Amino acid sequence: MRLIVQKFGGTSLATPRQRARVVELVREAVETGFHPVVVVSAMGRAGDPYATDTFIQLALQIYPDTAAREMDLLISCGEIISAVLVANALRAAGLDAMALAGGQAGIITDSGFGDARIIRVEPEHLLRHVNEGRIVVVAGFQGVTESGDITTLGRGGSDTTAAALAAALGAERLEIYTDVDGVKTADPDLVPHARTLRVMTYQEIAQMAREGARVVHPRAVDISMRKGVPVVVRSSGGGEGTRIVAPRLSEVRDDRVVTGVTHLPGMAQLTVTPGEDKTAAGMARTVFRALADRDISVDLINVFTDRLSFTVSQGVADRAASVLRGLGYRVEVRKDCAKVSIVGMGMRGRPGVMARVVESLHGAGVQILQTSDSHMTISCLVGQEDLVRAVRTLHDAFDLAEESEERS
Amino acid sequence: MRLIVQKFGGTSLATPRQRARVVELVREAVETGFHPVVVVSAMGRAGDPYATDTFIQLALQIYPDTAAREMDLLISCGEIISAVLVANALRAAGLDAMALAGGQAGIITDSGFGDARIIRVEPEHLLRHVNEGRIVVVAGFQGVTESGDITTLGRGGSDTTAAALAAALGAERLEIYTDVDGVKTADPDLVPHARTLRVMTYQEIAQMAREGARVVHPRAVDISMRKGVPVVVRSSGGGEGTRIVAPRLSEVRDDRVVTGVTHLPGMAQLTVTPGEDKTAAGMARTVFRALADRDISVDLINVFTDRLSFTVSQGVADRAASVLRGLGYRVEVRKDCAKVSIVGMGMRGRPGVMARVVESLHGAGVQILQTSDSHMTISCLVGQEDLVRAVRTLHDAFDLAEESEERS
C-alpha cells in the first residue's frame, strides 16, 4: 500500500467550497494509486466558532488564568470538529472515511500542555482502519499523555502531527496544503516578484521557518528529515508547490547560493556595558543567566570583552533592561528593529557572501545594526523602517527572482 | 469526605449569569461541608454554537448518513467545552476546579454509539484529584469504549453520567439541577395548578419518565435506585425540589394512590385483523416479529384472538401499516393519539383505581381508545384533541393538587 499523509490547514477548511476542494485532492490521491491519511487543523480563523483562537478567548473571558491543561482539553475540540466534518464530506463523496482524535490516532506526548512534544506514535489502531481500506482523518495539533490527559502541540502543531504520522507509517510523501502555493523566496507582501521555490532542502526550510517564514513548522521539518520523508508544500488551490528533499538528492542546484530571504519584525536591540561600579568580568555569564532565569529569550547575540549586544522581543525589552540595570549594568535599548536573514545551503564555505550582503544593504541606504552568521544563514538587524527595503535589496542582490536558476 | 454529585443541564449553563448561579450552588455545597463532583451537559439549546443539536445539524448538513461513531466524537465536544468553561468559572471564583472528559473520568461504555450503555466506572483517576481537594467538573453524556472510541449515552445521558459517578463514588446524594423546581404532579403547561412533589420513590419517577415526564432519565434513576443513592431534583434558581427515595423509607405516605399524571403525544394506534386469505393463527407472532425486524417500537399492546391493537410513533405509522398489509393483514390506522398515564406505587393492590379513571374520563367526555395497566401505572390512549382534558381530569380525580397529602 502506497501511503501518503495529506495535511490541510484551517484556511483550507473554512468554507464548504474549500472543503469540497479538499475532497477533490484526497480523491486525486486515491485515483493515482495512493492511500491517503488526512490530518486537519481547526476550521477558519479567530471569530469562527470552532477556531482555536475563539476557544482561547472563550476560556480567557471567564478566567484569565485558565490552566493549560483545561485550555488544551477545550481547544482540542476545534480539530476534532474539523476531523469529523472532513470525514463526513469525504463520505458524502462516496469515499470510506472516518475520523480519529489525535490520541486515538496514537499521538502520545509529554505533559507540556500548550506546547507538548510528541514522544512516540502508536499507529496500530490507525493502521487497522487503513488496512481495512478506510481513509482516516486525524485531528491535528493534539495528542494524549500516558496518563490520559489531552494535550496540544503549540503553533504549527498540525504540521507536526502530520510529519510524525508520515514518519511512523513510513509514508511515501507528506503533502502540506496551505493558502500559498509553496515556499517563496521572500514574503510576497514585501517582495511582489518573490518566486515559489520548486525544490529546497529540509535544512533550508527549517532555518527559514525559524527565521520568520510562515510555511511549515520547524519541528515538522525535523521529523520528516530524520526519517527522510519527502515533503511537498502546496496550495489547496492547485500548483506544483515546493518539494523538500535531502541535500544528497542533489536536486538542489549547486550554484544556488541563497534560497530565500526571511524576516522577523518586532525586535529590540539591547547593548549592555559595565556600569560605573562594575567591571566587564563575568558580564556575559551574569547577564544571560539573569535573563534565562526570567524566561526571556535572547537572539542575535554578539559578545565582546567590553560589551554585549543581543535582541529580545519588543514586548519584553523594558523588563529585560530593568533586570540588567538592577544588576548594575548600563543598558541601551533600541526598539522597532527587525531581523532580515538570507538562508541557503549554497553559502557554506563560499567566500564573499557576507561582503555582498553588506555592500548591497549599504548601497540601498540600509543601516546594519548588528549581524550574525551561521553555516547556512546570515542575519542582519535593521531598523523596522528599513525592513522592506532590506528584504527587497537582498532578494535582488542574490538574483532570487530568476526562475532559470532551478531549471537543472 | 462527604461527596455529592451535582448535575447541571444545558439550560442551567447557557448564559454567564446562569453559570454564576452554578458557581454559587457549588460553593454552597462546599460551605455546608460537602465535596462536590460536578457533571455538566452541553451549553444552551439548538442554535447555540456548542449545543448538541447544533453539532448534529452541522454534521448532517454535510452528510445525512453520518456514521454514529463520528457523530459521537463530534457532539462529545459540546460537553467538553461546557466542562472546561464551568471549571474556569469555578476557578475564577477562587475554587480549585478542573475539567475531565467523560472517558478521563472513567466512564467506560459499550460501543452502542449514540445510545451507549455504561458498562463500568473506573473512578481512580477522578478520585486522585478529589483527594487532592479539587472540584472535578465532568463532561456528561459521554464515555469511552475499551478500545478508545468516544461514545455518547443518548438522551438524558448527563443524568446517567451523574448517577453512575454518584454510585461509583458512594456519594451521599445526587443533585440534579434543571429549569423546573422539581418533579410535578403533571405537566404545568397542561395543568396550571400542578404541584411540585416533595418526595417520591425511584420506581415512580422512573415510570413517570418512561411515560413522558421530562425530568430525570430512567436509566439514571435505575442506577441510583440499585445503589440506594438519594436523588434531589431541583431548580438551579432555588427551592427545595423533589427528593427521590426508596419506598421502604416510608417517607411517601401510604394513602397516596397516585403520584403524578404523565402524557406522551405523537402516537398512532394500529388495529390489525386477518385479511381475506389469512387466519388469525400466529398473527401476533408474525406481526411483532415483522415490526421488530424493521426496528419499529410498539407500545400499549393488547392482543386478542381475532385482533391486535398497539401504538407506534406517528412518524413510522404508515411504514408499519404497509409492512403488515404486505403480509396480508388488514390494518386500521388512527393517527393523532396521545397516551395519558397515572403513576403511583399506592395503586398496587388497591381496588377501584381503574374504575375511577374510566368514570372520570367518561364524565369529562373523553373517549378512551385503549387502556393498559401494570403494577404501578394505568395508561389510556386518547385522541390528541382530548389530551389536555384527560390530563386535567385525572389530576383532579386523584386530588393531586392538594398539598396536604404530603404533610406527613
* B375-398 confidence digits (pLDDT tens): 789 999 999 999 999 999 999 999
**pLDDT (0 to 100) of residue B407:** 37
**pLDDT (0 to 100) of residue B249:** 57
pLDDT higher than threshold 80 for residue B276: no
pLDDT higher than threshold 70 for residue B404: no
pTM, 2 dp:
0.81
Mutate to test the interface with A, among B17, B40, B43, B73 (most CBs of A within 10 A): B73
**pLDDT (0 to 100) of residue A139:** 97
pLDDT higher than threshold 80 for residue B226: yes
Q: Is A84–B70 a contact, with Cβ atoms under 8 angstroms apart? A: yes
Provide, rounded to the nearest whole percent, the portion of chain B with pLDDT above 90: 66
- Please, what is the average pLDDT of chain B? 90
Give dist(CA A258, CA A100) in Å, integer.
41
**pLDDT (0 to 100) of residue B1:** 85
Give the minimum alpha-carbon distance from B267 to chain A in angstroms, rounded to a whole number: 33
Domain with CATH 3.30.2130.10 in chain B: 260-397
**pLDDT (0 to 100) of residue B405:** 44
CA-nearest of B81, B79, B76 to B9 is: B79
Q: Is B70–A149 a contact, with Cβ atoms under 8 angstroms apart? A: no
Compare CB distances from A63 to B80, B83, B88 and report the shortest one's residue.
B88
pLDDT interval class at B250 (50, 70, 90): low
Mean pLDDT over residues B99-112, rounded?
Answer: 96
Cβ pair A376, A205 in contact under 8 A? no
Give the minimum alpha-carbon distance from A46 to chain B in angstroms, rounded to a whole number: 15
Q: Is A85–B55 a contact, with Cβ atoms under 8 angstroms apart? A: no
Residue of chain A with shortest Cα separation from B65: A92
B contact set with A (CB within 8 A): 16, 19, 49-50, 55, 58-59, 62-63, 65-67, 69-71, 73-74, 76-77, 80-81, 83-85, 87-89, 91-92, 98-99, 101, 103-104, 125, 147-150
Cβ pair A173, A218 in contact under 8 A? no
**pLDDT (0 to 100) of residue A254:** 59
Q: Which residues in chain A have their CB less than 8 angstroms from residue B66's CB? A: 88, 91
Three cell numbers written together for B42: 452541553
Quote the distance between the C-alpha of residue B48 and its chain's center: 23
Compare CB distances from A84 to B73, B101, B103 and report the shortest one's residue.
B73
Mean pLDDT over residues B238-250, rounded?
Answer: 82
Residue of chain B with shortest Cα separation from A89: B62
pLDDT higher than threshold 80 for residue B339: yes
**pLDDT (0 to 100) of residue A351:** 78
CA-nearest of B209, B203, B199 to B253 is: B199
Q: Is A59–B85 a contact, with Cβ atoms under 8 angstroms apart? A: yes
CATH of B260-397, one of 3.30.2130.10, 3.40.50.2000, 2.60.40.3620, 3.30.465.10: 3.30.2130.10
Q: Is A85–B150 a contact, with Cβ atoms under 8 angstroms apart? A: no
- In three state form, how does the secondary structure of chain B look? CCEEEEEECHHHCCCHHHHHHHHHHHHHHHHCCCEEEEEECCCCCECECCCHHHHHHHHHHHCCCCCHHHHHHHHHHHHHHHHHHHHHHHHHCCCCEEEECCCCCCEEECCCCCCCCEEEECCHHHHHHHHCCCEEEEECCEEECCCCCEEECCCCHHHHHHHHHHHHHCCCEEEEEECCCCCECCCCCCCCCCCECCEEEHHHHHHHHHCCCCCCCHHHHHHHHHHCCCEEEEECCEEEEEEEECHHHCCCCCCCCCCEEEEEEEEEEEEEEECCCCCCCCHHHHHHHHHHHCCCCCEEEEECCCCEEEEEEHHHHHHHHHHHHHCCEEEEEEEEEEEEEEECHHHCCCCCHHHHHHHHHHHCCCCCCEEEEECCEEEEEEEHHHHHHHHHHHHHHCCCCCHHHHCC
CA-nearest of A74, A86, A81, A72 to A27 is: A86
Q: Is A84–B65 a contact, with Cβ atoms under 8 angstroms apart? A: no
Give the minimum alpha-carbon distance from B56 to chain A in angstroms, rounded to a whole number: 11
CATH class of A260-398: alpha beta
**pLDDT (0 to 100) of residue B265:** 95
Residue of chain B with shortest Cα separation from A75: B81
Residue type, B183: V
Fold of A3-249: Carbamate kinase (3.40.1160)
Domain with CATH 3.30.2130.10 in chain A: 260-398
A contact set with B (CB within 8 A): 16, 19, 49-50, 55, 58-59, 62-63, 65-67, 69-71, 73-74, 77, 80-81, 83-85, 87-89, 91-92, 98-99, 101, 103-104, 125, 147-150
Domain with CATH 3.40.1160.10 in chain B: 3-249
pLDDT tens per residue, range B343-363: 998 887 777 888 899 999 999
pLDDT along chain A (408 residues), means of 10: 94 88 96 97 84 90 90 95 95 96 96 94 96 97 96 91 96 93 92 92 90 87 92 91 81 74 95 82 86 89 84 95 94 96 86 88 93 88 96 94 55
pLDDT interval class at B408 (50, 70, 90): very low
Q: Which residues in chain B have their CB less than 8 angstroms from residue A84's CB? A: 59, 70-71, 73-74
pLDDT higher than threshold 80 for residue B403: no
Compare CB distances from A63 to B92, B103, B148 and report the shortest one's residue.
B92
Q: Is A63–B150 a contact, with Cβ atoms under 8 angstroms apart? A: no
Q: Which residues in chain A have their CB less than 8 angstroms from residue B85's CB? A: 58-59, 62, 74
* Burial class for A350, CB neighbours closer than 10 Å (0-12, 13-18, 19+): exposed
DSSP string, A30-91: HHTT-EEEEEE--SSSBTBTTSHHHHHHHHHHH-TT--HHHHHHHHHHHHHHHHHHHHHHHH
Cβ pair A141, A42 in contact under 8 A? yes
Q: Which residues in chain A have their CB less than 8 angstroms from residue B14's CB? A: none
**pLDDT (0 to 100) of residue A407:** 37
**pLDDT (0 to 100) of residue B355:** 86
Give the minimum alpha-carbon distance from A61 to chain B in angstroms, rounded to a whole number: 10
**pLDDT (0 to 100) of residue A404:** 47
**pLDDT (0 to 100) of residue A406:** 47
